[in-house]
């Protein structure tokens, strides 16, 4: 199971949101690059990056720092946030992103998703951001009437490398991951699953790790407020 420490980017800073609310933002590091270096020095090999500005407004203020992280840390970067065209996907893969994460595009333009998966096999992941069992898009701001399980099954025909499941109501809350929902997805959908949203402590991570059914876990706030130490996490990498 891959451990993905997370960096959410907003206005060039490393931040965390509470339940996806852009009005409830906490700055944890003014230098995302330095934060990425810390993860690298602790022995992590993978990094989950989200460009919140791009997710919300469709325009990125963070390209320079993202490219700096990719070029200077050797971390395998999984990048999402506002990536909605083939041109954007191609740009990021050419600039060294290991896995491009799409969400809104996958739901609104499945034909483009299929083409992206064909052009870049093994490099496209789909973010399923869920609130009360329905998918949310446009930086979690717009709620759809699309059910999680219905859409997840459809993705099996597209060739996506993994699904990244985020429980929005748990994100940034440290209330624990939704194990019952996660197990349902793994049982019914034949795509590797990465867990995100609500990770509270090292016990959560060990439980996910022990289950041996998850592709990875993304950890954000629990790292930044030191509920989980990087040293403890490193033992599971």
Residues noted as catalytic: 8, 129
Phi, psi angle pair for 33, to nearest 5°: -65, -45
Pairwise CA distance, residues 3 & 46, whole Å: 7
CA distances 229 to 9, 50, 118, 233, Å, are 21, 21, 39, 6
Query: 10 Å Cβ neighbour count for 212?
Result: 7
Three-state secondary-structure class, residue 171: coil
* Alpha helical stretches, state H, the chain: 32-41, 52-57, 63-73, 86-94, 104-108, 110-119, 148-154, 179-188, 202-211, 221-224, 230-234
DSSP 104: H
- What is d(CA 138, CA 104) in angstroms, rounded to the nearest whole number? 6
Three-class DSSP category at 157: helix
Q: Using the structure block, give the residue that is written with the tokens 């003014």.
A: 30
Q: What is the phi/psi pair of residue 5, to 5°?
A: -65, 145
User: Are 166 and 197 a contacting pair, CB within 8 Å?
Assistant: yes
CA distance 182 to 11: 32
- The DSSP bridge partners found for residue 131 are 134
């Amino acid at each position: 199971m891959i451990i993905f420490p997370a960096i959410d980017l907003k206005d060039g800073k490393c931040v965390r949101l509470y339940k996806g609310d852009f009005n409830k933002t906490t700055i944890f590091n003014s230098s995302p690059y330095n934060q990425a270096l810390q993860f690298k020095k602790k022995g992590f090999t993978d990094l989950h990056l989200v460009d919140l500005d791009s997710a919300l407004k469709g325009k990125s203020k963070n390209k320079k720092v993202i490219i700096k992280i990719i070029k200077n840390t050797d971390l395998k970067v999984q990048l999402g946030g506002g990536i909605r065209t083939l041109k954007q996907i191609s740009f990021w893969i050419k600039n060294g992103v290991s896995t491009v994460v799409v969400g809104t595009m996958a739901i609104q333009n499945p034909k483009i998703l299929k083409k992206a998966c064909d052009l870049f096999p093994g490099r496209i992941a789909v973010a399923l951001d869920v609130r009360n069992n329905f998918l949310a898009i446009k930086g979690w701001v717009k709620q759809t009437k699309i059910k999680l399980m219905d859409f997840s099954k459809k993705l099996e025909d597209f060739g996506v490398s993994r699904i990244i499941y985020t429980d929005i109501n748990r994100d940034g809350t440290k209330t624990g991951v939704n194990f019952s929902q996660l197990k349902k997805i793994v049982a019914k959908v034949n795509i590797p699953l990465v867990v995100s949203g609500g990770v509270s402590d090292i016990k959560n991570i060990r439980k996910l790790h022990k289950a041996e059914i998850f592709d990875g876990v993304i950890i954000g706030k629990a790292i930044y407020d030191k509920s989980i130490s990087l040293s403890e996490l490193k033992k599971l990498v």
